[in-house]
């Protein structure tokens, strides 16, 4: 730590330059920067320190405030989005108002993006100078408190949504769980076993599903979607569209007698839950353990809806229970919540997009999720792994990384495909005793017990061939390949091209964001990463928060995750939401607009510009009136006011002009 | 002392002031940093809550204080954290450009870009591109030009020596 003391009078600014280890000091000459800062007008003390965000770094500020009678603080370190809060708190702990503080990013905006030491240092000087110019105009501000509605909305009823909802509800808060499918359970409900413990998925999931249904604090709305979100942290107003399932949920007992009674004696409609591997009737239950245990009528295929001339044998079977109601219509429910947890999950990559793997062309090329249904005891074959013609496969190929780690599709690794491929290899071998080949680029098994599971599967005799499969075809070149699917692959360990004839091909697709993720993102006013996953506030330190206060992320909607990670993240999101609503109030940043009434001419320019209707015209005074409770602090009105009579706390004209002047002080004389 | 600036190429490097909204473009600039993307060091970023806070006078002031270019970054249309602040920006900047043109400030010196929080690469691309474009135009030197205009106003009855001198020093 070096320090430099200035002899300047007037306001007393303390400037703190962070090395961030070598992150900043590696490119920015922090010593020169500190010495330079000390010469700036108003600066009483300038210091540099290895890690300003650390405890000693923060104490440094507090001690200086007392010893050097500082009244303004500038920290040049990382992004204010990361540590502004930290240093405001340190400023406050030193006895100053926390808003007598300005942060400068010389890491994200200088040392990390430049290569020239001289240029980076000069840029840092300009930025520090701007902050010192600006901070002198800072004012003492109070944070506003808004009350928080203690209810939480959880969107998505997969394992993440279920876990988040139960955690919050167990804490005694009201939870609304909204799921668009007719049942909760999500992808996990479709799995047979989970890796690496080979737990039966249904045995660990369905009790939690039942607990959701039975919980007095949870309102469960399936077959429903959020259609509108208004309001702000603590006070969200949400509209939920509830699709008609043509069954009165209160009256249906889940006896399922209506299903075999349906006029369709043969089930003809591809079953969504079994990925079309079996058929269902127009009146159906997604799977035997579905929650709620309530049937649903699909109006697309139900004869009553198509012609109105059905004998309604289902109504007959329901009898006095009288649960079937063909006149049901869409309903909108309006709820008010304080926090929202998004757990909208993922979609598996469409394997048909990789044309050379033959999915959708050759009947015996399957997606991994289809195999999950085949090995499942309650699946379409009762747990038998068989080909489309009913034969047991003797040789099976599993192709990893379908649509993942591929510049043509998704560049990212989907994290779960290696492990579920190994799991399926084990399960297929167990059920069929077939020769199983896994074709991989890399095997990635970093989780707890994952590598052991991989080793065990190797010991069972599953073959692993390193190489990206070039093609799956039915073009036989030898008698042995006749009638088979042929895998063509470069075995990169053996250093040769191989052709391997198999009966069944299993493609292990990666994970895609939900197709409507962009619409959902807009509705909740959050951001997406380039790949389309919902963006967390900070990848390390705020992994479940979003940039919108009060909206949290759980599970795979934030990025590919396995079940334990989804559950852990759901717990974290629940805890964050709980901490928010349990506090009872939330402190808003004071960056609102305010009126200098004497200056206002009553021109009304500002009024239609405000997106929140926070500005009104006061007829008595013939001036504008700003409702600070409604103002969110964008500053659109401030920029538009012709007389400068609207200002914004922390972004007022004097502060911004000082900043402009500050960054350009060097440029002026250069010309 | 703070007025010293001995830049590359004898101070001929352009300086660009950028106003970035905190939710999208400023976050994207952070992402460019954490991703260690490299871009030209000529831009000085000023953070505002919304691009809609950018008063056209800020832009004029920046040029007046020696900026050679002004870059404004906001959220993509439809994605504004404040519903539609970026649309207000769009309109204002379109109007401002007409004014600036009258003042002899070329179009490329003022740029408005929609850059979302995930587009760190776009921050780097836009900055490099704009620095190149402004470099081609050369320094703006509005303070120098202003001296000429002031002289013009003082001697509005006809061209004078002062004006002729200012025009000569303009170099273009």
User: What is the average per-residue pLDDT within A18-29?
Assistant: 97
Residue A220 pLDDT exceeds 80: yes
- Chain B's closest residue to A108, CA to CA, is B33
Say what the pLDDT of residue B152 is.
79
Question: Is the Cβ pair B44, A130 closer than 8 Å?
Answer: yes
Kindly state the average pLDDT of the residues A74-94.
96
Residue B131 is predicted with a pLDDT of: 97
**For chain A, what is the mean pLDDT?**
95
Is A660 within 8 Å of B117 when comparing Cβ atoms?
A: no
Check residue A536 and report its DSSP letter.
P
Q: Please compute the mean of the pLDDT values over residues A560-565 and round it to a whole number.
A: 97
Helices vs. strands in chain A: H and E counts, helices first:
17, 35
pLDDT of residue A655: 97
Pairwise pLDDT comparison (B130 vs A266), residue with the higher score: B130
User: In this complex, which of B8, B27, B143 lies closest to A668 when CB atoms are compared?
Assistant: B143
In angstroms, what separates the C-alpha of B77 from chain A's closest C-alpha? 11
Give residue A5's pLDDT. 60
Chain B residues whose beta carbon lies within 8 Å of the beta carbon of residue A611? 82-85
Instruction: Give the closest of B11, B52, B116 to A634, CB-based.
Output: B52
CA nearest A84: which of A591, A632, A633? A591
Length of chain A: 671
Q: State mean pLDDT over A87-98.
A: 97
pLDDT tens string A322-367: 999 999 999 999 999 999 999 999 999 999 999 999 999 999 999 9
Query: Does residue A240 have a cis bond before it (omega within 30 degrees)?
Result: no
Q: What is the DSSP string of A290-306?
A: -SS---EE-TTT-HHHH
Q: Region A131-151: what's the mean pLDDT?
A: 95
Mean pLDDT of A190-212: 95
Q: Which of A120, A522, A656 sits opposite B79 (nearest CB)?
A: A522
- For the stretch A643-665, pLDDT in tens is 999 999 999 999 999 999 999 98
- What mean pLDDT do residues A422-442 have? 97
From chain B, the residues in CB contact with A645 under 8 A are none
Q: Which two tokens stand for residue B82?
A: 């404040």
Which CA distances in Å does A454 have to A384, A412, A447, B120? Answer: 23, 22, 11, 37
Please report which helix (H) or strand (E) contains residue B145, including its range: helix B142-154
Q: Which residues contact A554 (CB under 8 A, 6 or more apart)?
A: A154, A156, A160, A161, A163, A164, A341, A342, A343, A544, A566, A569, A570, A572, A573, A574
**pLDDT value, residue A32:** 97
A198 φ/ψ sector (left φ>0, alpha ψ -120 to 50, else beta) = left
* CB contact (8 A) between residue B33 and residue A79: yes
Q: In this complex, do A530 and B34 lie within 8 Å of one another by their Cβ atoms?
A: no
Q: Which residues on chain A are in Cβ contact (under 8 Å) with B72?
A: none
Q: With a cut of 60, say whether residue A8 has pLDDT above it.
A: no
Q: What confidence tier does A669 reach under pLDDT thresholds 50, 70, 90?
A: very low
Please judge whether A123 and B41 are an interchain contact, meaning their C-beta atoms are less than 8 angstroms apart. yes
Chain B residues in contact with A104 by the CB 8 A cut-off are none
Whether residue A10 is predicted with pLDDT greater than 80 in this model: the reply is no
* Rounded Cα gap, residues A246 and A615, in angstroms: 46
Q: How far apart are CA A13 and CA A616, in angstroms?
A: 39
Question: Are A639 and B55 an interchain contact pair (Cβ–Cβ within 8 Å)?
Answer: yes
pLDDT for position B153:
79
Residue A466 pLDDT more than 80? yes
Mean of the pLDDT values across residues A234-246? Answer: 97
| CA A142/CA A589 separation, integer angstroms | 8
Q: Which residue of A has its CA nearest to B37?
A: A113
- Contact between residue A550 and residue A338 where contact means Cβ atoms under 8 Å apart: yes
Give the span between the Cα atoms of A232 and A550, in whole angstroms. Answer: 8
Per-residue pLDDT at B165: 63
Q: What is the pLDDT of residue B148?
A: 82
Spatial separation of the C-alpha atoms in residues A615 and A378, rounded to whole Å: 60
Comparing CA positions, the residue from A456, A486, A647, A589 lying closest to residue A143 is A589
Minimum-distance CB partner of B53 among A528, A529, A639: A639
Q: Number of CB pairs < 8 Å for A and B?
A: 179
Residue B5 pLDDT: 39
pLDDT for residue A670: 38
Whole-number pLDDT of residue B8? 42
Q: Structure tokens of A431?
A: 């059920």
Q: Concatenate the DSSP letters of all residues of A337-390 into one string.
A: ESEEEE---EEE--GGGSGGG-TTTSTTEEEHHHHHHHHSTTSTTTT----TTS
One pLDDT digit (tens) per residue for chain B, 172 residues = 333 333 343 457 899 999 999 999 999 999 999 999 999 999 999 999 999 999 999 999 999 999 999 999 999 998 888 888 999 999 999 999 999 998 889 999 999 999 999 999 999 999 999 999 999 999 998 878 888 888 877 776 555 565 566 656 654 4
Give the mean pLDDT of A374-384.
93
The DSSP code sequence of A450-474 is HHHHHHHHHHTT-EEEES-EEEEE-
Q: Judge: A80–B47 Cβ closer than 8 Å, yes or no.
A: yes
pLDDT at B158: 55
Question: What is the predicted pLDDT for the residue at A557?
Answer: 98
A501-557 pLDDT, tens digit per residue, is 999 999 999 999 999 999 999 999 899 998 999 999 988 889 999 989 999 999 999
Nearest CA in chain B to A654: B58
Closest Cα to residue B26, out of B63, B79, B75, B93? Answer: B75
Over the stretch A104-118, which tens digit does the pLDDT of each residue have? 999 999 999 999 999
- Determine, for residues B58 and A527 on separate chains, whether the beta-carbon distance falls below 8 Å: no
On chain A, the residues whose CB falls within 8 A of the CB of B1 are: 39
In this structure, what are the phi and psi dihedrals at residue B12, rounded to the nearest 5 degrees? -90, 0
Share of chain A above pLDDT 70, in %: 98
Strands (E) across A394-509 are located at: 395-402, 435-440, 463-466, 469-473, 485-491, 496-502, 504-509
Return the biggest CA–CA distance within chain B: 59
Axis crossing angle, helix B25-34 with helix A80-93, rounded to the nearest 10: 100
Q: Cα separation of A90 and A97, whole Å?
A: 10
Smallest Cβ distance to A632: which of B54, B55, B82?
B82
Q: Residue B162: which H helix or E strand, with range?
A: helix B161-170
């Amino acid at each position: 730590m070096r320090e430099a003391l200035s002899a300047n009078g007037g306001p007393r600014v303390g400037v703190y330059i962070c090395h961030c280890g070598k992150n900043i000091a590696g490119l920015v000459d922090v010593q020169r920067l500190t010495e330079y800062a000390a010469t700036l007008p108003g600066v009483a003390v300038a210091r540099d320190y290895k890690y300003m965000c650390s405890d000693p770094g923060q104490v440094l500020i507090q001690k200086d405030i007392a010893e050097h009678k500082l009244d303004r603080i500038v920290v040049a370190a990382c992004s204010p989005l990361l540590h502004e809060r930290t240093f405001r708190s340190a400023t406050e702990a030193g006895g100053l108002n926390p808003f007598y503080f300005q942060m400068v990013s010389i890491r994200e905006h200088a040392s990390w993006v430049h290569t020239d030491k001289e240029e980076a240092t000069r840029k840092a000087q300009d930025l520090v100078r701007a902050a010192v110019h600006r901070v002198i105009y800072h004012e003492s501000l109070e944070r506003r408190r808004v009350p928080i509605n203690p209810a939480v909305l959880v969107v998505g009823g997969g394992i993440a949504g279920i876990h988040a909802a139960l955690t919050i509800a167990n804490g005694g808060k009201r939870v609304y769980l909204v799921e668009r499918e007719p049942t909760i359970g999500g992808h996990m409900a479709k799995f047979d076993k989970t890796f690496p413990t080979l737990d039966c998925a249904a045995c660990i999931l369905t009790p939690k599903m039942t607990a959701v249904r039975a919980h007095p604090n949870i309102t469960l709305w399936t077959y429903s979607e959020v259609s509108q979100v208004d309001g702000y942290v603590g006070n969200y107003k949400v509209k939920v569209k509830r699709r008609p399932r043509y069954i009165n949920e209160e009256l249906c007992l889940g006896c399922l007698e209506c299903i075999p009674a349906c006029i369709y004696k043969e089930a003809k409609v591809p079953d969504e839950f079994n990925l079309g591997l079996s058929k269902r009737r127009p009146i159906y239950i997604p799977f035997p353990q579905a929650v709620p245990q309530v049937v649903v009528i699909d109006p697309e295929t139900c004869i009553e809806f198509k012609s109105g001339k059905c004998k309604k044998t289902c109504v007959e079977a329901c009898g006095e229970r009288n649960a079937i109601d063909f006149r049901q219509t869409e309903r909108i429910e309006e709820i008010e919540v304080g926090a929202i947890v998004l757990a909208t999950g993922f979609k598996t990559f469409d394997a048909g997009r990789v044309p050379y793997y033959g999915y959708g062309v050759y009947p015996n090329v399957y997606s991994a999720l289809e195999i999950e249904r085949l090995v499942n005891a309650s699946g379409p074959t009762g747990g038998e792994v068989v080909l489309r013609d009913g034969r047991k496969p003797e040789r099976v190929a599993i192709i990893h990384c379908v649509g993942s780690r591929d510049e043509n599709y998704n560049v990212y690794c989907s994290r779960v495909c290696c492990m579920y491929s190994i799991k399926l290899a084990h399960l297929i071998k167990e059920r069929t005793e077939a020769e199983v080949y896994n074709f991989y680029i890399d095997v990635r098994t970093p989780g707890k017990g994952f590598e052991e599971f991989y080793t065990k599967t190797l010991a069972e005799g599953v073959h692993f061939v390193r190489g990206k499969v070039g093609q799956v075809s039915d073009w036989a070149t030898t008698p042995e390949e006749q009638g088979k699917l042929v895998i063509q692959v470069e075995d990169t360990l053996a250093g040769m091209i191989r052709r391997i004839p198999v009966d069944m091909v299993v493609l292990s697709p990666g994970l895609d964001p939900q197709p409507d993720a962009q619409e959902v993102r807009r509705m909740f006013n959050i951001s997406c990463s380039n790949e389309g996953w919902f963006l967390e506030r900070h990848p390390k330190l705020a992994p479940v928060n979003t940039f919108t206060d009060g909206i949290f992320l759980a599970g795979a909607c934030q990025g590919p995750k396995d079940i334990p990670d989804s559950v852990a993240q759901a717990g974290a999101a629940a805890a964050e939401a709980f901490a928010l609503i349990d506090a009872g109030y939330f402190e808003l940043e004071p960056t609102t607009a305010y009126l200098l009434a004497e200056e206002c001419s009553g021109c009304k320019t500002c009024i239609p510009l405000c997106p929140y209707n926070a500005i009104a015209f006061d007829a008595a005074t013939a001036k504008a009136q700003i409702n600070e409770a409604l103002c969110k602090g964008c500053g659109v009105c401030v920029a538009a006011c012709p007389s400068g009579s609207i200002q914004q706390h922390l972004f007022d004209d004097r502060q911004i002009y000082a900043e402009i002047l500050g960054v350009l002080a060097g440029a002026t004389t250069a010309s | 002392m703070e007025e010293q600036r001995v830049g590359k190429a004898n101070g001929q490097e352009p300086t660009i002031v950028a106003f970035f909204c905190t939710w999208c473009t400023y976050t994207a600039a952070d992402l460019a940093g954490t991703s260690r993307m490299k871009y030209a060091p000529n831009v000085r970023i000023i953070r505002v809550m919304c691009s809609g806070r950018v008063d056209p006078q800020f832009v004029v002031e920046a040029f007046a204080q020696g900026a050679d270019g002004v870059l404004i970054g906001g959220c993509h249309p439809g994605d504004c954290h404040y519903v539609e602040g970026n649309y207000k920006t769009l309109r204002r900047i379109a109007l401002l450009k007409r004014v600036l043109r009258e003042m002899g400030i070329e179009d490329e010196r003022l740029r408005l870009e929609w850059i979302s929080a995930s587009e760190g690469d776009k921050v780097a691309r836009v900055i490099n591109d704009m620095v190149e474009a402004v470099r081609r135009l050369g320094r703006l030197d509005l303070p120098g030009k202003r001296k000429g205009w002031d002289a013009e106003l003082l001697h509005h009855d006809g061209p004078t020596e002062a004006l002729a001198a200012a025009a000569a020093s303009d170099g273009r």
